[in-house]
Amino acid sequence: NAGVTQTPKFRVLKTGQSMTLLCAQDMNHEYMYWYRQDPGMGLRLIHYSVGEGTTAKGEVPDGYNVSRLKKQNFLLGLESAAPSQTSVYFCASSYQLEVGGGDYNEQFFGPGTRLTVL
Amino acid sequence: KQEVTQIPAALSVPEGENLVLNCSFTDSAIYNLQWFRQDPGKGLTSLLLIQSSQREQTSGRLNASLDKSSGRSTLYIAASQPGDSATYLCAVSRGRYSTLTFGKGTMLLVSP
């Protein structure tokens, strides 16, 4: 199993350009997430999906759109990139089990995409 | 709003020492707490997950404890090795879909 993969690994954009980041998972996980990681800020949730065809906003959703057309893929789009979107983007996926009367939800992360917006 | 704090921000120890990393969170209504390891320029690797009903989890030389009522978790690393050098992140989940709130991490350096 490849786990969680992300495409591309690196990208440089000019302000105003658009792009799509692709996340794919082969673990048949129901839930998928997009985070960004910035120095001094830690990881913050952008958007997430709890199933095919569903999406929801996280902590920092502005300037991003997402789609989950297939269960194994979760796309993150930047319609008009800004320098403030320079960051490392991580995708994660998880399953959920009921164990011992509680929920067990372990997230697995991809290797990240390093995006620079000039 | 949930806030997660990790202390210390950086730690340098000689090989062989036992060490403790601390994580605190402001809202005790969590589902799970997860500890991750991140190597420079890499993704996150899950180390341990503690459900809110549990008090600790162990994996090899790692032991994580959870005291939900006081909003604290510790990650204990026994007999540290240079290969343990990395940033360790603590994250708590809230709600059925378990979105994570992360601390800023503890950067660990273990010297030979």
Query: pLDDT tens-digit profile of A43-65?
Result: 999 999 999 999 999 999 999 99
Give which of A15, A12, A36 is closest to A82, Cα–Cα.
A15
In sequence order, the 6+-apart residues with CB closer than 8 A to the CB of A79 are A18, A63, A65
Chain A residues with beta carbon closer than 8 angstroms to that of B98 = 31, 94, 96, 103, 105, 107
| Closest CB from A41, A105, A110 relative to B98 | A105
Residue contact A109–B104, C-beta within 8 A: no
Nearest-CA distance B34 → chain A (Å) = 8
pLDDT at A62 (0 to 100): 96
Give me the residues of chain A with pLDDT under 70, please: 99-103
Q: Are A70 and A24 spatial neighbours (Cβ–Cβ below 8 Å)?
A: no
Residue contact B31–A102, C-beta within 8 A: yes
Residue contact B32–A100, C-beta within 8 A: no
pLDDT at A75 (0 to 100): 98
β-bridge mates for residue B82, sequence order? none
Three-state secondary structure string covering A42-54? EEEEEEEECCCCC
Q: HSE (CB half, 13 Å, CA atoms) of A103?
A: 19
Q: How many CB atoms lie within 10 A of CB A102?
A: 14
Give which of A85, A86, A87, A91 is closest to A109, Cα–Cα.
A91
β-bridge mates for residue A89, sequence order? A36, A113
- Range list of β-strands (E), B1-105: 4-7, 10-14, 19-25, 32-38, 44-51, 56-59, 62-67, 72-77, 86-94, 99-102
| Average confidence (pLDDT) per 10 residues, chain B, 112 residues | 93 96 92 93 93 91 95 97 97 83 96 96
Peptide bond into A61 cis (omega under 30): no
A–B interface: beta-carbon pairs under 8 A: 74
Q: Are A26 and A3 spatial neighbours (Cβ–Cβ below 8 Å)?
A: yes
pLDDT at A59 (0 to 100): 92
Query: H-type helices in A1-118, by residue range?
Result: none
